[in-house]
Chains A and B, each alone.
Chain A
């Protein structure tokens, strides 16, 4: 059958049909190769040059990376990322999982409650940052509210405290992302085989115990995805810092994304900015590659 088809003369229509899919995909392939990989390579090259306000392709070896590592502000930004990322991921997970488990108890008006938990995710980080900057305003925000409500000794001035300002970023980011993590886990919980829970109940296990010992461990893939997504959000966090603190006081709340922006575009340190961007890419890869690897392996084992 096939051989006769092959002998038939190929009409122009058929030939066109064979090329159409490639033609349709070609612009996107070009865009991805140039705009994604080509540009990464370009930035990589820039990080080895002496570029300052303008690109300058004089080879500088590892000098920009060396300058970066000798820069106190970069270390502050990196350390902040660890603190911010760690707290943000940890707290968001705990809140997200807790709310999901609570919501999974056949709650009336569940849809309404879910909608409320998730709405911050629809907002821009700039809006979130603006709102929380006001809420955390020392003297006028929650600081004053709780004193007005009778908690005389209450002080909340983290926003202007270089040692605690990072926690402000954590609070706002958790508020924005925890509903999303809740939704992910709720979807996961809905997929759990109910017969396992029933069997455990018949064995006399209490509901919290069943969740802790049986249900949550079975959601391990959701945990992985959630951690990866949150880590990814943390590394890319830029808008929130810009809106809430602009990196201040001083540069005490800087994050790498903010560092990259201000050195590249405000301070005319293109080479060093590129180096910091490449290190951010490295951080993302360090998270993504193991994740994709385990995903692919899991698929192969299916």
Chain B
């Protein structure tokens, strides 16, 4: 059957399909190519050439200058992202485990309340959260941002694990319980070893979310504690001095590289997380 269809539509329509797909590939790539080209050009080159002209001299000066401006913020982002991703994933796994295998009165209601958190417009919690961080003495610190990211990441991480664990047969856990295995033993010995795919999905989702965050970063940090997205925005949108587009583009690449790299290496899990988070949410 497949070959029949294939033969019938091979020809002009087939070529048209490939042409359209390739055209779209080019369109999607243009911004990345432009960013890269511009980042390796000299300012003179940028003003005489155009977006897609090849650099007359390839120079790393843009990257050097960009790194000198944003390196501290890059490390801030790492300091914020790593603990927040690990903690929110761990808590999400335990929550999902309880919500799927140790249900109790009210746990479903809690799950419903939590689900809404996936849609919560953060604007409605920004002020109280900043008051709270202020009271805790964590205003404008990376620790404060870690806490905020853990709290508002919980909805998604719990959802991921809960939906994954729900499809594991009850019998497995029941048998272990009859054998006298406890809550944590079952989690460690039975559940965790089966969880690698969803852990990957969750880690990658959280990494992308938290690394790319701007709203929390700009509201809850200042000066030295800012994450890279905020630093990039400050760099690009300062009106003082001559605009150095090569530096802007190099800085944008630096801010984008970690998540791009994760996407290239573990794209499968990234896509799965997107669809799981989105469709089920």
- Whether B50 and A274, one on each chain, are in contact in the complex, defined by CB atoms closer than 8 angstroms, is no
- Whether B214 and A238, one on each chain, are in contact in the complex, defined by CB atoms closer than 8 angstroms, is yes
- Whether A32 and B114, one on each chain, are in contact in the complex, defined by CB atoms closer than 8 angstroms, is yes
- Whether B215 and A124, one on each chain, are in contact in the complex, defined by CB atoms closer than 8 angstroms, is no
- Whether A179 and B28, one on each chain, are in contact in the complex, defined by CB atoms closer than 8 angstroms, is yes
How far apart sit A130 and B255, CA to CA, in the bound complex (Å)? 11
- Whether A36 and B267, one on each chain, are in contact in the complex, defined by CB atoms closer than 8 angstroms, is no
Minimal beta-carbon separation of A142 from chain B (angstroms): 7
Chain B residues in 8 Å Cβ range of A117: 24-25, 28
**Minimal Cβ-Cβ distance residue in A for B245:** A134
- Whether B219 and A122, one on each chain, are in contact in the complex, defined by CB atoms closer than 8 angstroms, is no
Chain A residues in 8 Å Cβ range of B262: 122
Chain B residues in 8 Å Cβ range of A151: none
Contact digits for B22-54, partner A, Cβ 8 Å, 1 yes 0 no: 001101111110110010000000110011110
- Whether B236 and A123, one on each chain, are in contact in the complex, defined by CB atoms closer than 8 angstroms, is no
- Whether B20 and A239, one on each chain, are in contact in the complex, defined by CB atoms closer than 8 angstroms, is no
Given A31-B151, A36-B117, also A116-B29 (CB < 8 A): yes
**Minimal Cβ-Cβ distance residue in A for B187:** A24
Asked if A168 is an interface residue, CB under 8 A from chain B, the answer is no
Asked if B113 is an interface residue, CB under 8 A from chain A, the answer is yes
**Minimal Cβ-Cβ distance residue in B for A139:** B47
Asked if B256 is an interface residue, CB under 8 A from chain A, the answer is yes
Among A118, A229, A243, contact of B278 (Cβ-Cβ < 8 Å): A229
- Whether A123 and B127, one on each chain, are in contact in the complex, defined by CB atoms closer than 8 angstroms, is no
Asked if A40 is an interface residue, CB under 8 A from chain B, the answer is yes
Given A25-B107, A32-B114, also A130-B129 (CB < 8 A): no
Minimal beta-carbon separation of A141 from chain B (angstroms): 6
- Whether A116 and B25, one on each chain, are in contact in the complex, defined by CB atoms closer than 8 angstroms, is yes
Size bin of chain B's contact surface: 35 or more
- Whether A122 and B208, one on each chain, are in contact in the complex, defined by CB atoms closer than 8 angstroms, is yes
Chain A residues in 8 Å Cβ range of B274: 121, 180, 183
Minimal beta-carbon separation of B15 from chain A (angstroms): 12
Which one of B2-10, B55-63, B135-143, B192-200 is at the A interface? Answer: B2-10
Among B116, B237, B249, contact of A246 (Cβ-Cβ < 8 Å): B237
Given A39-B125, A134-B249, also A232-B119 (CB < 8 A): yes
Chain B residues in 8 Å Cβ range of A236: 121-122
- Whether A242 and B50, one on each chain, are in contact in the complex, defined by CB atoms closer than 8 angstroms, is no
Minimal beta-carbon separation of B24 from chain A (angstroms): 6
- Whether A277 and B123, one on each chain, are in contact in the complex, defined by CB atoms closer than 8 angstroms, is yes
Chain B residues in 8 Å Cβ range of A142: 51
- Whether B117 and A32, one on each chain, are in contact in the complex, defined by CB atoms closer than 8 angstroms, is yes
Contact digits for A38-58, partner B, Cβ 8 Å, 1 yes 0 no: 111011001000000001000
How far apart sit A28 and B211, CA to CA, in the bound complex (Å)? 23
- Whether B31 and A135, one on each chain, are in contact in the complex, defined by CB atoms closer than 8 angstroms, is yes
- Whether B24 and A35, one on each chain, are in contact in the complex, defined by CB atoms closer than 8 angstroms, is no
**Minimal Cβ-Cβ distance residue in B for A115:** B267
Minimal beta-carbon separation of B55 from chain A (angstroms): 15
Given A120-B28, A142-B51, also A130-B270 (CB < 8 A): no
How far apart sit A179 and B125, CA to CA, in the bound complex (Å)? 30
Chain B residues in 8 Å Cβ range of A179: 28
Chain A residues in 8 Å Cβ range of B158: 28
- Whether B127 and A124, one on each chain, are in contact in the complex, defined by CB atoms closer than 8 angstroms, is no
Query: Can you report 16 residue pairs joining A to B where beta carbons are below 8 Å apart?
Result: A21-B102, A24-B94, A35-B152, A106-B2, A119-B260, A122-B270, A126-B229, A127-B232, A134-B245, A201-B5, A238-B215, A239-B214, A239-B215, A257-B121, A260-B123, A274-B127
**4 additional A-B residue pairs with CB within 8 Å, beyond A40-B124, A239-B229:** A35-B151, A113-B25, A132-B31, A145-B50
